[in-house]
């Protein structure tokens, strides 16, 4: 490991689900409860990510939730909040708060509304963000998720940003779903201090074998222990079998709208129906979907109740 990486984030992080109250507002108490359970499994907190419904939250809501978690004593250095916004001033405000709270890094989407953005335009956006923060503690993790944003992060752009802002541009969450891109990213940059986190645990083993830093994956919300175990033992003889077992659980959730499915699982685990709430335009699972999901998980001996007993 290079010196520049020694104090940086690594391992397994969950894009933590965001609970909502009956009034439709985020519920900081429920969020804190889930975060504590994740931390107890050595799972970091990528709050305000895609599966956190981060882009359905206002800037004020994100700032308030972050402040609550830090005040509650959750470790800020294990947090990588999502601070991306199509508005540069909003991205600056969120990212500055992340730095001021001492978080391990900021996960930053490209300005995804602007589908025709060029590499020059994207470079200007990220450069302006870095310059406006103007703090040596800043660590930016680029969020590459073109299936959602339709705005990708090219290898040429990564190279340009690393040359201008070494250390500040710390790494990437790669949720592109294109192994060829992931493999090339690892080949080009992993050895030079650019930390690559895969966006799904289904490729965690291959990512680690090629010098990756870990994963930031939706189902870490419900299956953190097993995912962390593979991260810690990826060189073990049974690592391929561990990977296969993780993939089966992932596939069970991926057969349904993922966020609603995971929230339903958490509601069962904690005996708290309020956890099923999502913010429109998302919708909760319907009764048939709920029954089908629970049947699938039961067939895999995946016990939801363990969340309340561990």
Q: Which pLDDT value is given to residue 309?
A: 55
Instruction: Tell whether 205 is covered by a domain.
Output: yes
Q: Which residue do the tokens 């969450």 mark?
A: 173
Instruction: Tell whether 259 is covered by a domain.
Output: no
Q: Which pLDDT value is given to residue 4?
A: 56
Q: Which residue do the tokens 């600056």 mark?
A: 92
Confidence band of 7 (pLDDT split at 50, 70, 90) = confident
Instruction: Tell whether 199 is covered by a domain.
Output: yes
pLDDT tens track for 283-292: 999 999 999 9
Report d(CA 273, CA 289) in Å as an integer: 16
Instruction: Tell whether 181 is covered by a domain.
Output: yes
If one counts the domains in the chain, the total is 1
pLDDT tens track for 39-88: 999 999 999 999 999 999 999 999 999 999 999 999 999 999 999 999 99
Instruction: Tell whether 287 is covered by a domain.
Output: no
Long-range contacts of 20-29 (CB under 8 A, 24+ apart): 20/274, 20/277, 20/278, 20/279, 21/274, 21/277, 22/274, 24/277, 24/279, 25/61, 26/57, 26/61, 26/64, 26/65, 27/274, 28/64, 28/65, 28/68, 28/69
Q: Which pLDDT value is given to residue 70?
A: 98
The answer, yes or no, to whether residue 310 has pLDDT greater than 80, is no
**CATH, residue 101:** 3.20.20.70
Report d(CA 119, CA 175) in Å as an integer: 19
Instruction: Tell whether 85 is covered by a domain.
Output: yes
Q: Which residues pair with 106 in a beta bridge?
A: 140
Confidence band of 173 (pLDDT split at 50, 70, 90) = very high
- CB under 8 Å to 4, separation ≥6 — which residues? 166, 167, 193
The answer, yes or no, to whether residue 1 has pLDDT greater than 70, is no
pTM, rounded to two decimals: 0.95
State mean pLDDT over 290-303: 93
The answer, yes or no, to whether residue 229 has pLDDT greater than 70, is yes
Domain span including residue 104: 3-234
State mean pLDDT over 267-281: 95
Report d(CA 173, CA 171) in Å as an integer: 7
State mean pLDDT over 91-105: 98
Q: Which pLDDT value is given to residue 308?
A: 59
The answer, yes or no, to whether residue 3 has pLDDT greater than 60, is no
Instruction: Tell whether 243 is covered by a domain.
Output: no
- The token pair at 182 is 């992931």
Instruction: Tell whether 127 is covered by a domain.
Output: yes
> Higher confidence at residue 5 or residue 113?
113
């Amino acid at each position: 490991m290079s010196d520049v990486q020694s104090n940086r984030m690594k391992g397994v992080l969950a894009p933590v689900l965001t609970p909502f109250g009956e009034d439709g507002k985020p519920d900081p108490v429920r969020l804190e409860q889930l975060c504590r359970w994740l931390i107890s499994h050595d799972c970091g907190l990528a709050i305000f990510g895609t599966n956190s419904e981060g882009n359905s939250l206002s800037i004020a809501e994100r700032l308030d939730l972050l402040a609550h978690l830090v005040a509650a004593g959750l470790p800020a250095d294990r947090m990588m909040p999502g601070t991306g916004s199509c508005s540069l001033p909003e991205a600056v405000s969120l990212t500055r708060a992340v730095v001021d709270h001492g978080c391990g890094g900021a996960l930053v989407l490209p300005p995804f509304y602007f589908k025709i953005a060029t590499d020059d335009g994207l470079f200007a956006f990220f450069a302006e963000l870095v310059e406006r923060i103007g703090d040596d503690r800043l660590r930016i993790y680029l969020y590459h998720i073109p299936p959602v944003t339709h705005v990708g992060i090219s290898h040429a752009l990564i190279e340009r940003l690393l040359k201008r802002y070494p250390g500040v541009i710390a790494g990437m969450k790669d949720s592109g779903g294109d192994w060829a891109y992931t493999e090339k990213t690892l080949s080009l940059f992993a050895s030079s201090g650019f930390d690559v986190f895969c966006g799904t645990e289904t490729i965690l083993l291959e990512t680690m074998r090629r010098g990756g830093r870990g994963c930031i994956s939706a189902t870490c919300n419900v299956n953190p222990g097993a995912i962390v175990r593979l991260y810690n033992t990826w060189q073990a003889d049974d690592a391929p079998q561990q990977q296969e077992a993780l993939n089966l659980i992932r596939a069970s959730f991926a057969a349904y709208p993922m966020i609603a499915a995971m929230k339903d699982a958490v509601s069962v685990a904690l005996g708290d129906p309020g956890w099923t709430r999502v913010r429109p335009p998302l919708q909760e699972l319907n009764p048939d979907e709920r029954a089908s999901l629970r049947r699938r998980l039961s067939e895999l001996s995946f016990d939801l109740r363990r969340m309340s007993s561990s």
